[in-house]
Amino acid sequence: EAGVAQSPRYKIIEKRQSVAFWCNPISGHATLYWYQQILGQGPKLLIQFQNNGVVDDSQLPKDRFSAERLKGVDSTLKIQPAKLEDSAVYLCASSRPGQTERKYGYTFGSGTRLTVV
């Protein structure tokens, strides 16, 4: 099966600009996650979708970050305006929603490396 697709692979922007990342999960995976991975740290969950509904966005900085998942498939994560501390890798992952499937973990994309200067 095809993996989780993400684009762009790299992005450099100036602070206060806006940026958007795109994710296409594995076909049939109803659950989609966006993680932020700051250099030297483990990934941290930003938002979780089940189909096109938000399950958990408690760690999403909602004053500047937004995300949507139209039609329960592709997802877009946006930052506006960006700050220097937003420099990180943004990883998208997907999984099947059932408890049996969850024990197999998630499938991750290759991420987008964002540099804010």
Smaller CB separation from another protein, 48 or 75: 48
Smaller CB separation from another protein, 37 or 81: 37
Collect contacts of 26-32 with beta carbons under 8 A, ≥24 apart. Answer: 26/1, 26/2, 26/94, 26/107, 27/1, 27/2, 28/96, 29/94, 29/95, 29/96, 29/107, 30/72, 30/96, 30/97, 31/55, 31/94, 31/95, 31/96, 31/97, 32/69, 32/75, 32/92, 32/93, 32/94
Stretches 20-28, 60-68, 69-77, 101-109: which one binds another protein (CB under 8 A)?
101-109
Q: Of 14, 16, 68, 97, which lies in the binding site for another protein, with binding defined by CB under 8 A?
A: 97
Query: Residue holding tokens 């997802």?
Result: 75
Neighbouring-strand partners of residue 91: 35
Contacting another protein within 19-78 (CB under 8 A):
33, 40-45, 48, 50, 55-56, 58
Contacting another protein within 3-22 (CB under 8 A):
3
Least distance from another protein to the Cβ atom of residue 47, Å: 10
Residues that bind another protein (CB under 8 A): 3, 33, 40-45, 48, 50, 55-56, 58, 89, 91, 93, 97, 99, 102-106, 108-111, 113
